[in-house]
Structure 1
Amino acid sequence: MSSLRFRRAALIPAAAVTGALLLSACGSDSGDDAGGAEKAGSASKTRQLTDAQGRKVKVPSDPKKVVALSEPTLDAALALGVEPVGTTAGRGQQGVSSYLADKAAKSQVVASVAEADMEKLAALQPDLILLDETTGAKKTVDKLQEIAPTVVTAKLNENWKTAFTDTADALNKKSDAKKWLADFDTQVADTKKKLGGNAGKSVSVIRWQDGAPSVVGKGEGHVGSTLKALGMDRPKDQQGASTGHSEPVSLEKLATIDGDWLFLGALGSKDDSQKAYEAAKKVTNFGKLTAEKAGHVVVIDGSAWNSSGGPLAARTVLDDIKGALAK
């Protein structure tokens, strides 16, 4: 409290001061009470931003209870040191994506990729809700906005680095995201120098599910863009943009998933991926693949490679490639 406020207070009659103290003891919606003015003022500060849907949204300058309803927004928040109070289950999983589970141990699952549980979400009393167009919750933005300020951070198929930066902006951590990305690009450059004889080799990325493969990681997502930055090639049928999150491949065309290296995962943890690999090896002609014969099949944490993408997923992809291919 400033000296000017103290001088003014001295002029107030005793009865008025007593009344003011009683009101203060009961609490104040304005946040102007002497005991908590600074704290309340900080908590009430807001910023206005325009989200990916063109909506102007007032968000808290320092959000304390964030809910992230998509894989990329959860990933981004955790990369920036923010653990949401509520979040989404990973794609094809009951809980948080396994590659994020340790960092999101306290986050309550209140949504799936398909939809959010409004009742569970509201019970958390969030002060900021983040999502993007990779989740079905995008259809209920108006209802979400009634619970807390809601920001749609990215359009479907947005470049993951742009989506990360925009999510960071909603959290008022854009400078932190810039530093994170600079460090990531440095790691990519360092890994590229260490590829040695694997430089420029073809890399196939598949998900093995229900007895057959699906191609994932095409285009400019966190998988495709990282492989491209490393100078890695892709098999012919894995080039160009994807027609969906994944593209099934019939067993009759198993040879089309072959490459110098084959990264294989499942919708789940690395243990799930190992089980998928064991199942794949029993399929006719899988043993004839160049990658399999050369011992170049790499079992991965599918929850990261098959997710909608984010900075921590991209770093997992980079770490897996570095561990397998770098010298």
Structure 2
Amino acid sequence: MFVIIVGCTNQTEEAEDTGEKETITYELENGSVEVPANPKRVVVLSTFAGNLMELDVNMVGVDTWTKMNPNFDEELADVEEVSDKSLEKLLELEPDLIIGLSNINNVDKLKEIAPTVTFTYDKVDYLTQHIEIGKLVNKEEEARAWVEDFKARANSIGEEIKAKIGEEATVTVIENFEKQLYVFGDNWGRGTEILYQQMGLQMPDKVKEMALTDGYYAISPEVLPEYAGDYIIFSKNAETETSFQETKTYKDIPAVKQGHIYEVDAQAFYFNDATTLDYQLDFFEKSFLGKD
């Protein structure tokens, strides 16, 4: 599984009077760190690559899950796949900034390679997270502009969707992963932040009861009808077991019968970075409203 989010704020420009590279101070949850004012070689060890893409920041290394995202293929074609354990490879890349979630390994060793900033998932909301990334790479103004534009677009599309499907219509987000089905709350990627937080679409009561607090909940295919809303978003791992879709239990779900289930590649849908949010919003517009 995965997710994201974090930090606090405040940065101050450092005077460049010694011939050294200009830096800024980024305020962390429990301290501060000096980072490049204009990072050129960033390594991302968790789910923030799409934020840096949106802010036009160069990356030299990303984690495996990010590298697998088909939407990132072109942008990351020449970017190395790395991990928090591949320290020698990271040294060779000579990063000037390393970014990851707070649960990554070897943070102290990573700090010896380059300034390292970690974020605690869900410490701040998904849009504030983008602003925090913007502050970190000295592009707060650009990050805030994107957030305001995204909110306006999502609100507009959300109103159209509610006008079409009804204010009380419910939406369930599911995913198949390692022989298990999951339903999701309102902050676990897969477009949940857009659907439930930004657009204000309704979550089925059973999903709200079981998944809202932890963010996700594992179920068996046999009980899926209990969690199925009027509409279903299926974040689908094609290589994982999907035979349940051939069962009568699945086919008898009203949303399935009515063609109100929308399938999308899970590897492109996991995250809630800025680039992925744009992709998810476009997917919802096309799926619910039939717009190209």
Which residue is equivalent to 1:293? 257
Asked if residue 209 in structure 1 is aligned to residue 155 in structure 2, the reply is no
Equivalent residue letter for 1:261: Y
Q: Report the counterpart of residue 61 of structure 2 in structure 1.
A: 86
Cα gap change, 1:214 to 1:181, in 2 (>3 Å): same
Q: 2:183–2:207: 8 Å Cα contact kept in structure 1?
A: yes
| Equivalent in the alignment of 2:236 | 266
* Contact 1:83–1:103 (8 Å) recurs in 2: no
Question: Do the aligned partners of residues 246 and 190 (structure 1) sit closer, same or farther apart at CA in structure 2, a change above 3 Å counting?
Answer: same
| RMSD of aligned alpha carbons | 2.4
1:163 and 1:265, CA in 2 relative to 1: closer, same or farther beyond 3 A?
Answer: same
Q: Is the 8 A contact 2:41 2:95 kept in 1?
A: yes
Post-superposition offset of 1:118: 1.2
The number of aligned residues is: 268
In the other structure, the counterpart of 1:282 is 246
Query: If each structure's helix is expressed as a fraction of its own residues, which one has the higher value?
Result: 1
Larger Rg: 1 or 2?
1
Matched with 2:26 is 49
SS at match of 1:259: coil
Instruction: Tell me how far apart the structure 1 counterparts of residues 221 and 241 of structure 2 sit (CA, whole Å).
Output: 15
Distance 2:120 2:242 in 1: 37
Q: TM-score, normalised by structure 1?
A: 0.75
Q: Does 1:256 find its partner at 2:262? A: no
Q: Give, in angstroms, the shift of residue 265 of structure 1.
A: 1.6
| Range with greater deviation from structure 2 (226-235 or 165-174) | 226-235
Deviation at 1:220, TM superposition (A): 3.3
Alignment partners' CA distance in 2, 1:293 and 1:236: 21
Give, in angstroms, the shift of residue 277 of structure 1: 8.9
Query: Counterpart of 1:85 in 2: which secondary structure?
Result: strand
Question: Deviation digits for residues 203-262 of structure 1, max 9, x if unmatched?
Answer: 11100234542113x133453331122131111122266455632102331212311111
Matched AA of 2:252: K
Structure showing the higher strand proportion among its residues: 2
Match for 2:132 among 156, 159, 166?
166
**Cα distance change, pair 288–179 in 1 and its aligned pair in 2 (3 A):** same
Name the CA distance, whole Å, in 1 between partners of 2:226 and 2:262: 17
User: CA shift at 1:101, angstroms?
Assistant: 2.3
Where do 1:109-148 residues align within 5 Å? 109-111=81-83, 115-133=84-102, 136-137=103-104, 139-148=105-114
Runs of 4+ in 1 over 4 A off after TM superposition: 240-245, 275-278
Alignment-derived partner of residue 183 in structure 1: 149
| Amino acid paired to 1:213 | L
Read off the aligned partner of 2:43 and give its amino acid letter. Answer: V
Does structure 1 conserve the Cα–Cα contact (< 8 Å) formed by 2:186 and 2:212?
Answer: yes
Residue 106 in 1 paired to residue 70 in 2? no
Q: CA shift at 1:98, angstroms?
A: 2.2
The secondary structure found in structure 1 opposite 2:50 is helix
Contact 2:41–2:60 at 8 Å: present in 1 too?
yes
Deviations 1:275-319 (A, max 9, x none): 769633223400011111001111113124333x21222222211
Gaps of 5+ in 1: 1-37
Match of 2:45 among 53, 62, 69: 69
2:41 maps to a residue whose letter is: K
Unaligned runs of 5+ in 2: 1-15
Question: Which amino acid letter does the alignment assign opposite residue 57 of structure 2?
Answer: V
